[in-house]
Amino acid sequence: MAHAVLGALLAAFLLWPSSVEGGQVNLRICVPYDKMRSDLLRMYQEKPHGYGISGDGELVELYVSPDGETWTIIQIKPRTGLACPRAFGTDWFVLEPNGDV
Q: Are 73 and 64 in contact (CB under 8 A)?
A: no
Distance CA 5, CA 51 (A): 24
Tell me which long-range contacts 89-97 makes (C-beta under 8 A, separation of at least 24): 89/6, 89/9, 90/2, 90/5, 90/6, 91/2, 92/64, 92/65, 92/68, 93/68, 94/68
Per-residue model confidence as pLDDT tens digits over 6-40: 455 444 544 444 433 343 323 358 999 999 999 99
- Confidence check: pLDDT of 49 > 60: yes
Per-residue model confidence as pLDDT tens digits over 68-93: 999 999 999 888 999 999 888 999 98
Residue 92: predicted pLDDT = 92
Q: What is the pTM of this model?
A: 0.69
